[in-house]
Structure 1
Amino acid sequence: MILLIDAGNTRIKWRLVAPRGEAGWIAEGVLVHEEIASLRRVFRKHPGIERVFGCNVAGPQVAGHVTNLAAAAGLTPEWLQPSAECCGVRNLYDDPMQLGADRWAALIGARTVHAGAALVVTAGTATTVDLLSAEGDFRGGLILPGVDLMLRALASRTAQLPLASGRFSPTPRNTADAIHSGCLQAQAGAVERMFRSVAAQQNAICLLGGGAADSFADLLELPLRRIENLVLVGLATVARAG
């Protein structure tokens, strides 16, 4: 078995998969950084783990914790590094190595689940919006503050705009709703503007995931597929190919 690790800014997702051939997964879970020691139970419950493969944007401390936990099981984690090409995806970043490993894995995951053009959107702490052509070229993308970051930025940087519970309205008529609606419209607007770049391509679709995706998914007027854990899908693809 392969233990896949997606160490993100706030959470760590993991998934156990067969080394090759079989679709789906054996087990999976999610935990916050403070719970990372609980990965020890995964190794204990599944002694057949032969490999640990992941991507890490959470920093060296989290990577060190994973390394120590894997070492106790006699394993050394392998970490995905962006490259110029992998598993049918070509990285057209000015410097391919500067692309975040999580974005690279998600793009490979998108190519795995959809053969056509795609806008790959992950709405988490930050929202990433990445263009993938039908030929498998990553053409670039956006990084913007996630929904929660936008809300908190307005509350912390403006004296008259408190962090309050609003609701979405197309025509907000109170401050809380205006803040909430503005942040959601900003997310949806960025996604829709970027989708124009691939909209004319056959079978183009927006692949949307992440913890904040549901907050603005209904606002999007484009071909849409809600899909979670594209990073783990991409990691499985790379691990099985290696």
Structure 2
Amino acid sequence: MVLLIDWGNTRLKWMKIDHLELAQVRAAKVNITDNWQEHTEIWASPIEAIFIASVRNDQDNQALSGHLLNYCDRIHFAKTEQIACGVENSYSDPETMGVDRWMGVIAAAAPEENIAVVSIGSAITLDVIQSAQHMGGHIVPGRRLMLESLNTTGRVRPLMNTQDDESFHLGQTTNDCVNAGINSMIEGYLRHIINQTKIEYQVSRFIFAGGGGKYWQQRLNSGTDQMEYSESLVFEGLVKRYSV
């Protein structure tokens, strides 16, 4: 049994598979937890190897690794590299690129195809891949970071559990105004990068990922562009990287 872990800024996602095969990842259940220490079922069965993509700090990673060593001594933390699986990174200093983004790039890259990966979580990231070349990307604040930023002013205090809203409207409370404004900002940005990457980089396929990926993929998909949502994109990157 192999354990795959994707530890982001807010949640830890994990899955178990029998072998490092993409078909198994795509068929497996993605589990999500806010506190991995409370979910002992993760380690309930024997584990042969553990592969981790984590954007957490060293202290968090060491705590997780120390706990995992009680169950398995083959623990691999993925790193962002200059070249992996035939994909070349555009960063001159690859280690400064989040490993979750890099795993997504590896997973999405396909010969003779121009693809954009749009991950929507605490931050919104864009990565464009032309065949096996990572061309670069964007990082902008996501919903939670925008809300936190407004809260730090001490003047505007929106509810932190504000949700996406499909309709355009003008708010009549501070919270509604913030919600409507953030939705419009995110939608405007996403529509802009979709249009521009098609023009500038001939992108023909868009892969959405992250906690907000499914919502925005469904909202923006007019049927004229090839848009898909992947819940397991980082896991697919781990499998491609370590099954080589």
Q: Report the TM-score when normalising by structure 1.
A: 0.83
Q: SS of the residue aligned with 2:24?
A: coil
The amino acid that maps onto 2:192 is R
Aligned residue in 1 for 2:37: 36
Q: More deviation in 64-73 or 15-24?
A: 15-24
Deviation at 1:115, TM superposition (A): 6.4
Q: SS of the residue aligned with 1:72?
A: coil
Aligned residue in 1 for 2:207: 207
> Which of 148, 153, 156 is 1:157 aligned to?
153
1:46-77 alpha-carbon deviations (Å, 9 max, x no partner): x1x21111111111233123212321124131
User: Does 2:140 match 1:144?
Assistant: yes
CA RMSD of aligned residues (A): 2.7
User: Does 2:49 match 1:71?
Assistant: no
Unpaired runs of at least 5, structure 1? none
Aligned residue in 2 for 1:109: 107
Aligned residue in 2 for 1:194: 193
Deviation at 1:233, TM superposition (A): 1.1
The amino acid that maps onto 1:19 is H
* 8 Å contact from structure 2 (residues 118, 208) kept in 1: yes
Q: SS of the residue aligned with 1:94?
A: coil
User: Does 2:129 match 1:129?
Assistant: no
Deviation at 1:203, TM superposition (A): 6.5
* 8 Å contact from structure 2 (residues 2, 49) kept in 1: yes
Question: How many residues in Structure 1 have an aligned counterpart in Structure 2?
Answer: 234
2:69 and 2:115 map into 1 onto residues whose CA distance is 38
Aligned residue in 1 for 2:24: 24
2:122 and 2:8 map into 1 onto residues whose CA distance is 9
Q: SS of the residue aligned with 2:198?
A: coil
Distance change >3 Å, CA 88–CA 198, structure 1 → 2 = farther
Deviation at 1:190, TM superposition (A): 2.4
Q: SS of the residue aligned with 2:118?
A: strand
1:104 and 1:156 map into 2 onto residues whose CA distance is 31
Unpaired runs of at least 5, structure 2? none
Distance change >3 Å, CA 18–CA 4, structure 1 → 2 = same
Q: More deviation in 103-112 or 16-25?
A: 16-25
Deviation at 1:168, TM superposition (A): 4.9
Q: SS of the residue aligned with 1:143?
A: strand
Distance change >3 Å, CA 188–CA 116, structure 1 → 2 = farther
Aligned residue in 1 for 2:240: 237
1:64 and 1:153 map into 2 onto residues whose CA distance is 29
